[in-house]
Amino acid sequence: MSSHSHYLAIDLGAESGRVMLGTLWEGRLTLEELHRFANGAVVINGTRRWDLLHLYAQIVEGLKKAGALNLPIRSLSTDSWGVDYVLTKKSEPFLAAPYQYRDERTDGSYERLGEVTREEIFAATGVQFMTINTLCQLHTDLLERPEMLKFADQFLLIGDTINHLLGGDPVAEASLASTTQLYNPAHHDWARSLIARLGLPEAIFPKIVPSGTVIGTLSGELQAETGLRTVKVVASCSHDTGAAIAAVPASSEEGWAYLSSGTWSLLGVESPVPILTEEARQLNFTNEVGYGGTIRLLKNITGLWILQECMRFWRESGQNHTYTDLVNFSLEAPPLTSLINPADPRFLRSGGTTASGGMPARIAEYCRETAQPAPESVGAIARCILESLSLLYRKTLGELEQLTGKPINRLHIVGGGTRNDLLNQCAASATGRRVIAGPIEATAAGNILIQALACGSVSSLTEAREIVARSFPQNTYEPQETSVWESAYKRFISLA
């Protein structure tokens, strides 16, 4: 790596998106945010949808800024959240505004599958049961708008859709496909027998490609509009968590777990093979694909979403608190007073309107139901959420050790949640394990390094992780007050 090489990562999250420039030089990676834009569900006709035209227009603005730099950019790639999709027809980019996974149309989905059992689904896919899954969404389409499935040529997940609109082939990248609960991680293909059993049209399922596949070049139309020259379009890890885990600065030694901390908390380990046992199903773990065909054995936990919904309620009530404010308020509140189970279904959906009391009212309701004092101040509510999340991390790590038979002695936290020092310290104290936090921009870093692997600038995932370790700071947190947290964990388990 004697010369600079440049790449673009289009990183789409549930709250915002970014176009990031990544530069590799002398074994280090630097990142520069070229363009950031808001994202979020649009409520229309009683449904929650993604505004894909807005996202596309903002991405093009970011590409224009990249073109203005006049750099020899080698490739670009998009990553996004999982499970959501568009239906396409020939040259039509999408037939309807895509549903957001939190839309209530899929409530009770598994009860509507007829003779298809949970055991059958897990044996075929190894994916955690959540009604947000693509399986539930497509089956709801089959029941409620079958004409759409009959008319469509195929469906594409969000990150793959953007890659296609930019000039790539219309394909399903493996890491993103593996979030659908319609992908077989043992056969590296769609779970075709399950798809047939569900009555879904097999013709709409696109070709699957491995992470790090070159799928085309930037379209001539966009080259003219943005000023970018011929740029490869790469399907890196189109799933944001897959990209983030590729950038975990861990050594090749065993004994570590990862936590991608953001709107969701995705906590797991890397495994060479999927774990499809009945115990894994009962514990509701998921087997998703990582770079190189590795398996991300993990659990999706409702993460900072709960705090984000509280912040939305407070903002609409006239209280504009920053994350830094919330940490400071939390430190003023007494510790481990009230606990919630973040996995309770009431915390999955939107907190609703200010008139209903929002997410803070749901937390208070939970605490009253479980004979605990309801937190009243902003700091007490925030502290309740962060401490409860940390205790759920401990429970999940114990389940991972149970499933793999291997001890976990350290936890790597990556993503935006690493900015929250209190959460990081709570995670160390609650789990009794060393926590290494960073990098913040793991998703963009992983996206870019997988592109570099595809373009031949990086030789292996091990080298990519060494680059991350050299390029970005990490903070270490050791467990504190372990006896106090042990007592709190016993209380938490009685709730969960």
Indicate which residues carry an active-site annotation.
Answer: 240
DSSP one-letter string for 409-470: -EEEEESGGGG-HHHHHHHHHHHTSEEEE--TTHHHHHHHHHHHHHHTSS--HHHHHHHHHH
Task: Tell me how far apart the alpha carbons of residues 247 and 414 are, in angstroms, rounded to a whole number.
Answer: 8
Check if the beta carbon of residue 98 is closer than 8 Å to that of residue 258: no
Dist. CA 202–CA 194, nearest whole Å = 10
Tell me the C-alpha distance between 152 and 392, whole Å: 41
Cα gap 187→124, rounded to integer Å: 9
Question: Do 188 and 137 meet the contact criterion of CB atoms below 8 Å apart?
Answer: no
Tokens of 273: 């093979």
The residue to which tokens 């239906």 are assigned: 87
Q: What are phi and psi of 24, to 5 degrees?
A: -100, 130
Cα 74 to Cα 67, 389, 447, 473: the distances in Å are 12, 40, 13, 26
- Which residues are paired to 412 by β-bridges? 258, 436
Q: Where are the alpha helices (DSSP H) in 145-249?
A: 146-151, 158-165, 174-177, 192-198, 220-226, 240-246
| Residue found by looking up tokens 């009253």 in the block | 368
- Take residue 217 and report the two structure tokens written for it: 């070049």
Among 343, 342, 325, CA closest to 379: 325
Residue 370 three-state SS:
coil
